[in-house]
Structure 1
Amino acid sequence: MNPRHHLDPATVLGFATSTLAPEMSVVAAAHLEGCAHCREQLRSAERLGGVLLEQQLSPPPEENRQAALREAMLGRLEATPSAGPPTLRRDDVEHGTAGAHDPDRMPAALEPHFGSSYRSLKWRWMAPGVHCIRAPAHPSLIMLKIAPGKCLPMHSHGNSELTQILRGAYDDSLGHFAPGDVADLDSDVEHQPVTTPGVACICVSALDAPLVFSGWFARKLQQVFKL
């Protein structure tokens, strides 16, 4: 896997500082397992966080402190030059991010929520060509299986959506999303994913607010499935 779509720097920072919502952290961790670029960004965020905290000689008032740290770290992250693929570390190998692995094996970050095997997944019908599984402990953490060549309803986002592509692929106005890619979206994005022919698209998504659908049928389904 060589992902072309990566985590936003703010998401990397939130993961590094443990300030992401639990559901978002699960999806971010699943992406980090297979993305050397974002693992390097995470290491940079962790290093920068330690340096910036040590340099807080005259910290601002507490209500502004976290915002100031966030802005400073984001600026440093975005200014970090790309140095090419980083060397894989031992923990990368242990987590299955180097070399071949069992294609039926779920990413380690998803195993506590969905099990270890794709074959063992028990899908629930959501709409024609769309099935889902909701994580028992986290209702807004959802795995989706979408039939090949399926056009999903046009929608935007109440706040943030983080989606990791596991199998298959889809296209939308933001580009082509294949296995390993992550869609890190906010409320400014309106899109209509269309899955590619041949193989069902399996992805895992985390939402921190309901989706906003434009069609009446999709809005009816939303009331039933709480998306």
Structure 2
Amino acid sequence: MTITHHPDIATLMAFSAGALEEPYAAVIATHLAMSEGGRETVRHMTTIGGALLNDEPNAKLSDKALERLMGKLGDERIEVPSHTPSDVPLPLQKYLPRGLDGVRWKWTGPGVATADLAWGRDGRSRLMLLRVAAGRRVPEHGHGGQELTLILQGAYKDRFGVFAKGDIADHDEDVEHQPIAEPGDDCICLVAVDAKLTFQGRLMRALQPLFGI
């Protein structure tokens, strides 16, 4: 797999520092599971961050600080799926235990469907799947905030190039584009957003409450 498009370096730094909301962290973790180059970049960031922390002066801790910390962590069990779908990278399997074939899609427009997977602590950031039928286009739109889009299947093209499996688009509110799914397989993307899209056409703006994106 040749991955051409990668996250912005600031997004990777926030992921490495544990500062991303769950939807964004899930997209980046899934991308890294598909990208050896991305994992190497994060390893370098972690090494640099560790060196910087090591140079900081020692802080005084109160008595039983470690004991209180361990108590806050709790003993929550992590459920490991008995069946791991082969079409879903490991970080995504807890959201899609039945794989892509088990997704319950919601019609969002002609040739377009979505499926919600999770929400962030702020209640605004959202993790979802987007499916665009081969050859169909998403109406031209901008973004009210940050959008991360990772290709899981198929491909799409826009003014930034062709995005295929493993590629990630890291867009902010300054970006407007119109993705068009490439011929062949339907394009399925993992998407994290923290605001609704801003459509350019009057009709799409009127229908947006119905579509929910």
TM-score band by shorter chain is 0.7 to 0.9
1:62-103 Cα distance to aligned partner (Å, 9 max, x none): xxxxxxxxxxxxxxxxxxxxxxxxxxxxxxxxxxxxxxxx98
**Cα distance in structure 2, aligned partners of 1:41 and 1:6:** 11
* CA apart distance, 1:220: 2.9
Which region of structure 1 is more displaced relative to structure 2, 172-181 or 48-57?
48-57
TM-score (norm 2): 0.80
* CA apart distance, 1:215: 1.1
Q: Give secondary structure in 2 for the equivalent of 1:112.
A: coil
- Residue ranges of structure 2 left out of the alignment (5+ in a row): 58-83
- Residue ranges of structure 1 left out of the alignment (5+ in a row): 58-101
Does structure 2 retain, via aligned residues, the 8 Å contact 1:104–1:118?
Answer: no
Q: Which residue of 2 aligns with 1:122?
A: 104
1:147-200 Cα distance to aligned partner (Å, 9 max, x none): 111121111111100010011100001110000101111112111111111211
**Cα distance in structure 1, aligned partners of 2:146 and 2:135:** 25
Runs of 4+ deviating beyond 4 Å: 136-139
Change (3 A) 1:127 1:33: same
Q: Which residue of 1 aligns with 2:28?
A: 28
Does structure 2 retain, via aligned residues, the 8 Å contact 1:134–1:140?
Answer: yes
* CA apart distance, 1:116: 3.8
Q: Which residue of 1 aligns with 2:78?
A: none
**Cα distance in structure 1, aligned partners of 2:56 and 2:174:** 34
Give the structure with the higher percent helix. 1
**Cα distance in structure 2, aligned partners of 1:107 and 1:216:** 38
Q: Give secondary structure in 1 for the equivalent of 2:131.
A: strand
Does structure 2 retain, via aligned residues, the 8 Å contact 1:108–1:116?
Answer: no
* CA apart distance, 1:104: 4.5
Change (3 A) 1:162 1:136: closer
Pick aligned residue for 1:221 from 197, 203, 207:
207
Q: Which residue of 1 aligns with 2:38?
A: 38
Change (3 A) 1:162 1:137: closer
Q: Aligned Cα RMSD in Å?
A: 1.8
Q: Which residue of 2 aligns with 1:174?
A: 160
**Cα distance in structure 1, aligned partners of 2:87 and 2:26:** 16
* CA apart distance, 1:115: 2.4
Change (3 A) 1:165 1:48: same
Q: Which residue of 1 aligns with 2:74?
A: none
1:11-53 Cα distance to aligned partner (Å, 9 max, x none): 1111111101110000001100010111011001111111122
The amino acid of 1:15's aligned partner reads F
Number of matched pairs: 183
- Mapping 1:137-148, distance limit 5 Å: 137=119, 140-148=126-134
**Cα distance in structure 1, aligned partners of 2:118 and 2:174:** 29
Q: Which residue of 2 aligns with 1:95?
A: none
Q: Percent identity, please.
A: 40
